């Protein structure tokens, strides 16, 4: 993704950087979906089939093209964090050394065992990913992302959340992923799931080569809300008729933007917030699945067992 030089002065407030990240992500998402736009329009123009007594007949509204759906990725659509799965795939392809894999494994273990996003771990993972991809071509990472999706991500998609996304598609509405993961990887996942496109963190590139820097900041928290706001304005959407889905209290700004917020597999803070505001909740984690999610992704790495144990101990101390 080419750098948006006119949007990137050296010093900006946190709010301005969130707006910058959101606008950059919205622009990237719109460009990535252009190839599929004609097919989407044909699908939206087709007469909707009559549903057989839907559980919630009022929503999504078939044929409402002013509405769209925005889905968080990590632990909402997919078990675990996309950036960590991506790191495993890059390690397999010799992009970095074993010690870096230990860091990815530790971070993934914490994410799964604690069930929440730790800002320090997420920032550390993003910094690692940026340093790893610096000097590589965008097209190369997109191609590798396709392979990594098949190897590590496809089997981790939550069927329940996937069905919710499909309901919006069947109603003729656009469906977007909104994630802190790199926009290129998010776009691959969205395409493989048959979604419209993705809003993600935009890494700076010049001449199709990554510089190791970001445009703005990671698409996290308030930046996600700014991305949704910018994309909705560009697409002519009515946010009051749109839906958003997330597992994390960090996404409350995004969820609060839309008329139909959903808490999916929610963390404790989001569950409490959703209940206070009468938001809809969905939890697709059975006891058996929750136990499975607690297993570190890279269990085959020798040092990871100790890291997982440390994560459990630290989680218990904090709570």
Among the residues of the chain, which ranges form H helices?
A: 14-32, 37-45, 82-92, 98-114, 119-133, 138-148, 159-170, 183-192, 222-235, 252-257, 268-276, 287-293, 304-318
The answer to whether residue 50 is domain-embedded is no
Q: How confident is the model at residue 101, as a pLDDT?
A: 58
188, 219: one domain: yes
Same structural domain for residues 127 and 271? Answer: yes
Verify that 186 and 91 share a domain, yes or no.
yes
| Burial state string for 146-166 with b = 16 or more CB within 10 A and e = fewer than 16 | eebbeebbeeebbeebbebbe
Q: Are residues 225 and 292 in the same domain?
A: no
- Is 243 part of a structural domain of the chain? yes
Q: For 33, list phi and psi in degrees, rounded to 5.
A: -95, 0
**How does pLDDT run along the chain (319 residues), one tens digit per residue?**
444 443 344 444 557 777 777 777 787 777 777 667 765 665 566 555 554 444 444 678 898 999 999 999 999 999 988 988 888 888 888 887 666 655 555 555 554 445 455 555 555 556 656 667 888 899 998 999 999 999 999 999 999 999 999 999 999 999 999 998 889 999 999 999 999 999 998 888 999 998 888 887 788 889 999 999 999 999 999 999 999 999 999 999 999 999 999 999 999 999 999 999 999 999 998 754 443 333 232 222 222 222 333 333 333 334 4
What pLDDT, on the 0 to 100 scale, is given for residue 290? 41
pLDDT tens for residues 2-55?
A: 444 433 444 445 577 777 777 777 877 777 776 677 656 655 665 555 544 444
- The answer to whether residues 100 and 216 belong to one domain is yes
CATH of the domain at 221: 3.40.50.1000
What's the confidence (pLDDT) of residue 83? 84
Same domain, 131 and 20: yes
- Does a cis peptide bond (omega within 30 degrees of 0) precede residue 56? no
DSSP string, 92-127: HTTSS-HHHHHHHHHHHHHHHHH-S--HHHHHHHHH
Residues 181 and 133 placed together within one structural domain of the fold: yes
Q: How many CB atoms lie within 10 A of CB 295?
A: 11
Q: Within this chain, do residues 215 and 298 fall inside the same structural domain, yes or no?
A: no
pTM above 0.85, yes or no: no
- The answer to whether residues 141 and 255 belong to one domain is yes
Residue 1 within any structural domain of the chain: no
Q: What is the DSSP letter of 77?
A: T
Domain of residue 79: give its range: 16-34+59-111+118-282
| Residue 89 falls inside a structural domain | yes
Looking at the annotation, which residues are catalytic? 72, 74
52 belongs to a structural domain: no
Please tell me the distance from the alpha carbon of residue 42 to that of residue 92, in angstroms, as a whole number.
40
Overall domain count for the chain:
2
Question: In the prediction, which pLDDT does 259 show?
Answer: 96
Query: Is residue 188 located within the same domain as residue 312?
Result: no
Domain-embedded: residue 53: no
Q: How many alpha carbons fall within 13 Å on the CB side of residue 244? A: 27
C-alpha–C-alpha distance, residues 192 and 187, integer Å: 9
Residue 51 belongs to some domain of the structure: no
Whole-number pLDDT of residue 107: 54
Distance from C-alpha of 255 to C-alpha of 243, rounded to nearest angstrom: 8
pLDDT at residue 45, as a whole number: 64
250 located within any domain: yes
174 and 290 both lie in a single domain? no
Nearest CA among 302, 151, 280, 126 for reference residue 216:
126
Residue 302 has a pLDDT of 26
Contact criterion met (CB below 8 Å) for 254 and 225: yes
197 with 293, same domain: the answer is no
Assess contact for 271 and 281: CB atoms under 8 A: yes
């Amino acid at each position: 993704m080419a750098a948006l030089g006119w949007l990137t002065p050296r010093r900006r407030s946190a709010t301005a950087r969130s707006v910058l990240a959101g606008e950059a992500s919205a622009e990237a998402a719109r460009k990535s979906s252009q190839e599929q736009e004609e097919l989407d329009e044909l699908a939206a123009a087709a007469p909707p089939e009559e549903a057989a007594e839907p559980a919630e007949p009022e929503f999504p509204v078939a044929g409402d093209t002013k509405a769209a759906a925005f889905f968080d990725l990590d632990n909402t659509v997919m078990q675990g964090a996309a950036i960590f799965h991506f790191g495993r795939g890059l390690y397999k392809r010799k992009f970095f050394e074993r010690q870096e894999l230990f860091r990815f494994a530790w971070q993934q273990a914490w994410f799964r065992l604690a069930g929440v996003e730790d800002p320090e771990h997420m920032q550390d993972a993003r910094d690692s990913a940026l340093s790893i991809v610096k000097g590589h071509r965008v097209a190369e990472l997109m191609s590798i992302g396709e392979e990594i999706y098949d190897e590590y991500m496809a089997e981790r998609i939550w069927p329940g959340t996937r069905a919710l996304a499909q309901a919006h598609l069947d109603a003729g509405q656009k469906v977007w992923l909104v994630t802190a993961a790199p926009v290129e990887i998010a776009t691959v996942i969205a395409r493989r799931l048959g979604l419209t496109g993705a809003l993600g963190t935009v890494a700076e590139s010049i001449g199709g080569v990554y510089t190791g820097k970001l445009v703005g900041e990671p698409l996290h928290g308030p930046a996600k809300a700014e991305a949704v706001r910018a994309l909705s304005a560009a697409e002519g959407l009515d946010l009051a008729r749109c839906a958003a889905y997330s597992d994390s209290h960090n996404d409350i700004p995004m969820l609060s933007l839309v008329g139909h917020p959903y808490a999916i597999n929610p963390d404790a803070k989001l569950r409490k917030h959703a209940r206070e505001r009468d938001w809809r909740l969905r939890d697709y984690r059975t006891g058996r699945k929750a136990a499975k999610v607690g297993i570190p992704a890279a269990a085959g790495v020798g040092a990871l067992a100790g890291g997982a144990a440390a994560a459990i101990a630290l989680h218990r101390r904090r709570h």
